Amino acid sequence: MLDSLERARATTLLTSALRFRGGDIPPMNRMLKVLQGPGNFLQAARSWIKSFVEHNSLWFPPYHLPKVKMVEVQNRTLGQVLFNHRKFIKDWTHAKSPACACHHAKDLPRTKWGHIFCSATDAVTLYPNLFHSVLTHSMTDTVWASEQQFLRHHHREFTKFASAWKLPKSAVEQWDEFVNQHWTSFQRAEDESVQAIKAASHCIRHWVTLPVDHFPTQLHIACPVQFHLLLIGTFFDGTIFRPLPQSAAASKGWCGARPIVAYNAAWNGKISQVVAAIITQVVDRVFGRKEALPSVMHILQQMWKIMQAAPIDEELLLMQQDVAGFFNAVPHSRILDSLRVVLHQFMQREKVDVDHELSVSVKQADQFHRVFRGRYRKQAHRHFLIAIHEIPHMVSFLLQAAALSVGTHAVQQVQGASMGSQLAP
């Protein structure tokens, strides 16, 4: 075995020899993505590739047999097949109201606006033989790929591999024959659930299908007009969002939603991540790390016990069961005032001044830009030093930069922080 230095030197010499002879430089090893298939297709594909490389070694550059790494890709989920709200939002505009679909089901529950918005379980009476089998599954369950999808996906993946290594067309034909034989040998008739999913996707095409808050794995259907009004009541509320001049190409009675917006992959994602980590450390230092209650219901139970312990003559009545709705209700000025109070208490506790620098590491949370074209990128800066007096200015900048696109519109959040943002907690 060659050690690392000799191996690198030998690779360099072989590459130079290939260039001198007019040959091709060996490409980087490419990962093959295979779908979950019948009969342990991943193991069968690995054996076939190994045999293929051994029997056709002349098709590859000398001393450069590829190490083909295979990974099994999860099939599509039931939600990816049935949910269509993202497609509706993509071309949505507040100036044009869609066509009403309530005439397709007159007996389903309606909102105060007179349009349908309900769980798909309420539609069992509308589609008794269809929805019952579909609704027994969670929207996170995977759906088997069809024969056409299975063959097309693996043909596309191996074509990329063959193109990188400049293999002849017959290599792709051999792979297609192997995939087809494997599918045929384990072929089974599509069961009733797959047929029901296809039929359900066709029958609910008139509705906007989506998950709702606290029920992300359950299918809900809405009239397009109802969803249109819901978007207007959410993103065109002047107290929370402000329309920008340039736009890109249930607790409220379904009159407005609580948007969940993630800025992880946005241009301000890194600075939001750093600021959120620093604020979390400061808050834990000032108030101590408390054991979080497991759910909203446990929080409500604790609040109920505290209220019952107080001597009150009137009967207690819980008017609001959604304690997370305050995200959009807190003005930016109050957020900044609270931050300054916490920082002041931190400085008094630690006996430091405003020029003191806090160190933070985001190595555990950094999930982006790790690998680029099969090679590890240069390690990015994951340790930061931030002065205390800079934190309020950074938070103010991030709150002002909370802009997002909804359909063909762009809005800026002027109050609160959207759920999913690092600043929301």
| Least confident piece of the model among 91-105, 176-190, 246-260 | 246-260
* CA-CA-CA-CA dihedral for 346, 347, 351, 354, to nearest 10: 150
Q: Are residues 161 and 226 both part of a single domain?
A: no
Residue 371 within any structural domain of the chain? yes
* Residue 243 falls inside a structural domain: no
Cα(383)–Cα(121) distance, integer angstroms: 49
Residue 157 CB-density burial (10 A; 0-12 exposed, 13-18 middle, 19+ buried): buried
Question: How far apart are the C-alpha atoms of 116 and 32, rounded to whole Å?
Answer: 45
Separation CA 192–CA 190 (nearest Å): 7
Dihedral pair phi/psi, residue 120, rounded to 5°: -65, -20
Please indicate, yes or no, whether residues 83 and 107 belong to a single structural domain of this protein. Answer: yes
Say if 389 falls within a structural domain. Answer: yes
More confident residue, 311 or 92: 92
CA–CA distances in Å: residue 151 to residues 34, 181, 277, 318: 10, 11, 46, 56
* 25 inside domain: yes
Highest mean pLDDT among 4-18, 57-71, 246-260: 57-71
Is residue 29 located within the same domain as residue 99? no
State which residues form the domain around 129.
Answer: 78-142+191-235
263 in Cβ contact with 269 (< 8 Å) = yes
Residue with tokens 């609580």: 258
Contact 9, 150 (CB under 8 A): no
Domain check: are 349 and 404 in the same one? yes
- 33 and 177 both lie in a single domain: yes
Same domain, 208 and 320: no
In this structure, is residue 263 part of a structural domain? no
Indicate if 124 and 180 belong to the same structural domain: no
What single string gives the DSSP state of each residue in 158-224? Answer: HHHHHHHTT--HHHHHHHHHHHHHHHHHT-----HHHHHHHHHHHHGGGSEEEEETTEEEEEEEE-H
325 plus 394 within the same structural domain: yes
Residue 3 included in any domain: no
Q: How far, in Å, CA of 143 to CA of 76, rounded?
A: 6
In a domain, 178, yes or no: yes
Q: Give 254's pLDDT tier (boundaries 50, 70, 90).
A: very low
- CB 172 within 8 Å of CB 155: yes
- The Cα 284–Cα 236 span in angstroms is 36
Q: Is residue 362 part of a domain?
A: yes
List Cβ neighbours of 231 (8 Å cut-off, separation of 6 or more).
89, 92, 94, 257, 406, 407
Convert the pLDDT of each residue in 358-404 to its tens digit. Answer: 888 776 555 444 444 444 444 556 778 889 999 999 998 888 888 88
111 and 176 fall within a common domain? no
Considering the domain architecture, whether residues 288 and 371 belong to the same structural domain is answered as yes
Beta-sheet pairing, 208-212 with 117-119? unpaired
What percent of the chain has a predicted confidence (pLDDT) above 70?
A: 73
288 falls in which pLDDT band (50, 70, 90)?
A: confident
Residue-wise pLDDT for 192-213, tens only, equals 566 777 777 888 888 999 988 7
The DSSP result for 105-150, as a single string, is -SSS-B-TTS-BEEEGGGGTTTSHHHHHHHHTS-TTSB-PPPHHHH
Specify the pTM.
0.53
Residue 407: left (phi > 0), alpha (psi -120 to 50), or beta? Answer: left
* Count of domains forming the chain: 3
Whole-angstrom Cα distance, residue 280 to residue 386?
Answer: 14
Which amino acid appears at position 383 of this protein?
A: H
pLDDT in the model for residue 372: 43
Tens of pLDDT, residue by residue over 134-149, are 766 788 888 878 788 8
Tokens representing residue 324 in the block:
């997370």
Say if CB 142 and CB 36 are below 8 A apart: yes
What pLDDT, in 10s, does the model give residues 322-353?
Answer: 544 556 777 888 889 989 999 999 999 988 99
Distance CA 99, CA 154 (A): 40
Task: Clarify whether residues 155 and 226 are in a common domain.
Answer: no
Backbone torsions φ then ψ of 386, nearest 5 degrees: -125, 130
Q: Are 125 and 108 within one domain?
A: yes
